[in-house]
Amino acid sequence: MAPQLSTVFTGLRFANPFLLSSAPPTESDINIMRAFDAGWSGVVTKTIGLHPVVNVKGPKTKFMRAASGSYRLSMDKQPDAALHSSWNWELISDKPLDWWVPRLGRIKKAYPDHVLVASIMAGSEDDRELDHWQALARACQDEGCDAFELNLSCPHMDRDDMGSNIGKNCELIETVVGVVKAVARVPVWVKLTPNTTDIAREAGAAFKAGADAISSSNTFTSLPLIDPNALEFEVNVDGLVSYGGLGGPAILPLSLAKMAQMTQAHPARSFSGIGGIGEFSHALSYFLLGCGTVQVCTAAMLDHAIGPNVIKGLIAGMTAFLERHADKGWRSLDDFCGLRRDRIVEHSRIKRPDAKDYHGGHEAPEGYASPQVAAKPEVV
Ligand SMILES: Cc1cc2nc3c(=O)[nH]c(=O)nc-3n(C[C@H](O)[C@H](O)[C@H](O)COP(=O)(O)O)c2cc1C
């Protein structure tokens, strides 16, 4: 039987489990419709809020590359360098809700079978802010949005009551999720920040308040490097920088660890994996840990702004994977989702060598350069 890429996640049907995440690729109706035409089954809009947004002067995102054959890591354009990460300090959409509302409706009318998830954000310090969450939710679902993703994860916020500052506080998570659930007629996904010590706890708080799924990771708190010649941060405005977010290949293993902590603690729940995905093998790691969909940002930004080649590769990769494993009876994501979730165990459960094979850590080290033998001093 032919491989089946379609899947159902939080009750919604997706033609494939690949979405664009909330970020520049989904910052406009034009981009979103191009993304659907390119093959993405769903998108999460750039985060929409009710507070005024003014971004910093100059570039909001830069890409860091690693040179081959040296340790050089820089945002400078270097020949033969591989992508290491994206670094950004972009805020949420600077377009007001009024700009978004008619566009959301038009997108949904033109693409009724694609999944349009509205990413929304407000504060949490008083009832007025909590009302904003409900106003955003009502406006987006009235235009036909299929789900919400609550942005409790943006790492660069000026306000204490917003973004990852909510995602770091279980009480605030419960309050905000509860407020949105009270008016939502569609599934509510919660995008958590990876910048905490126990993300499984925060996921638990979101589920307790009624969340239908967790998305993770948003970017990891980080700084650009300091240029060794100019002695200035590689991104700065008048010499000043602020904490921003790291995305792209560098965060893939970090984000997988965060995801595993959550899927192990809440194995019956729904998760959307994000962080460092550029090809199917990356998405597969998230699926094998128990994710039912995945989302992509950095790789898509670097591929014609919405990732036409990335989505082509993801679809081809999943089709080939299912064909390769057809003999096991695998026809769809359901057949292999979560298969490796339980392989992560406490360190003490990892087998040690038998005493006779153990050389106290002095066996030939794998992957290290062999130790240089110091030259003998000349005897005169
Ligand atoms: C320039 C830029 C802007 C972003 N804006 C948002 C946003 O508005 N809302 C949000 O939830 N995540 C935002 N993100 C985070 C991404 O959606 C994604 O979670 C993160 O980049 C990790 O995925 P990646 O490794 O594929 O880039 C942004 C990321 C970048 C690079």
| CB atoms near residue 234 (< 10 Å) | 18
* 299 C-alpha to ligand 1 centroid (Å): 11
Decide whether any atom of ligand 1 lies within 6 Å of the 303 Cβ.
no
Burial group, residue 221, by CB count within 10 angstroms (0-12, 13-18, 19+): middle
* Ligand 1 centroid – CA 272 distance (Å): 14
- Among protein residues, the one with the nearest Cα to ligand 1's atom 10 is 22
Strand order in the sheet with 73-74: 73-74, 61-66, 82-88, 244-247, 220-222
Contacts 24+ apart (CB under 8 A), 227-230: 227/74
The finding on whether 222 has its CB within 6 A of some atom of ligand 1 is no
What does each of the 380 residues of the chain score in pLDDT, given as a tens digit? 789 999 999 999 999 999 999 999 999 999 999 999 999 999 999 999 999 899 999 999 999 999 998 999 999 988 889 999 999 999 999 999 999 999 999 999 999 999 999 999 999 999 999 999 999 999 999 999 999 999 999 998 878 899 999 999 999 999 999 999 999 999 999 999 999 999 999 999 999 999 999 999 999 999 999 999 999 999 999 999 999 999 999 999 999 999 999 999 999 999 999 999 999 999 999 999 999 999 999 999 999 999 999 999 999 999 999 999 999 999 999 999 999 999 999 999 999 988 887 877 676 667 777 666 656 655 55
| Tokens describing residue 186 | 């569609």
Task: Give me the domain span that covers residue 339.
Answer: 7-349
Q: Are 123 and 51 in contact (CB under 8 A)?
A: yes
Q: What's 169's domain CATH number?
A: 3.20.20.70
Binding site membership of 255 for ligand 1 (Cβ less than 6 Å): no
Helix axes 29-38, 308-324, angle to 10 degrees: 30
Q: Which atom of ligand 1 is nearest to the CA of 92?
A: 8
Q: Is residue 379 part of a domain?
A: no
Assess whether the C-beta atom of 155 lies below 6 angstroms from ligand 1: no
Residue 287 counted as domain residue: yes
Which of 19, 17, 21, 38 lies closest to 321, judged by CA? Answer: 17
| Minimum CA distance residue for ligand 1 atom 6 | 23
pTM equals 0.95
Q: Where would I find the H helices in the chain?
A: 29-38, 97-110, 127-142, 164-167, 170-181, 199-208, 252-265, 280-289, 298-301, 308-324
Residues 116, 24: Cα–Cα separation, whole Å: 15
**Catalytic residue IDs:** 154
In a domain, 367, yes or no: no
Residue nearest to atom 30 of ligand 1 (CA): 23
Cα gap 256→248, rounded to integer Å? 13
SS3 content of the chain, % helix, strand, coil (to 5): 35, 20, 45
* Cα 13 to Cα 3, 191, 234, 313, distances in angstroms: 16, 20, 43, 21
Please tell me the residue having the least CA distance from ligand 1 atom 5: 23
358 assigned to some structural domain: no
| Residue among 92, 219, 296 to mutate when testing ligand 1 (max atoms within 8 A of CB) | 219
Choose which residue among 18, 19, 20, 22 to substitute to test ligand 1 binding: the one with the highest number of ligand atoms within 8 A of its C-beta: 22
Q: Which of 294, 256, 259, 260 is nearest to 278 (CA)?
A: 294
Is the CB–ligand 1 distance for residue 251 below 6 Å? yes
Q: Residue 6 to residues 9, 13, 121, 171, 336: CA-CA distances in angstroms?
A: 10, 7, 29, 36, 14
Q: Decide whether any atom of ligand 1 lies within 6 Å of the 26 Cβ.
A: no
- Yes or no: say if 270 and 206 are a contact pair by the CB < 8 Å rule: no
Ligand 1 proximity of 174 Cβ (cutoff 6 Å): no
Show Cβ contacts of residue 352 under 8 Å, excluding neighbours closer than 6 positions: 358
The reply to whether 373 falls in a domain is no
User: What's the number of domains the chain is made of?
Assistant: 1
Q: How far is the CA of 314 from the centre of ligand 1 (A)?
A: 19
Does residue 360 form part of some domain? no
Q: Which of 298, 358, 338, 375 is nearest to 83 (CA)?
A: 298
Any domain includes 29:
yes
Is residue 21 in a domain?
yes
Q: Alpha-carbon distance 189 to 177, whole Å?
A: 9
Residue closest via CA to ligand 1's atom 22 equals 275
- Closest-lying ligand 1 atom to the alpha carbon of residue 149: 11
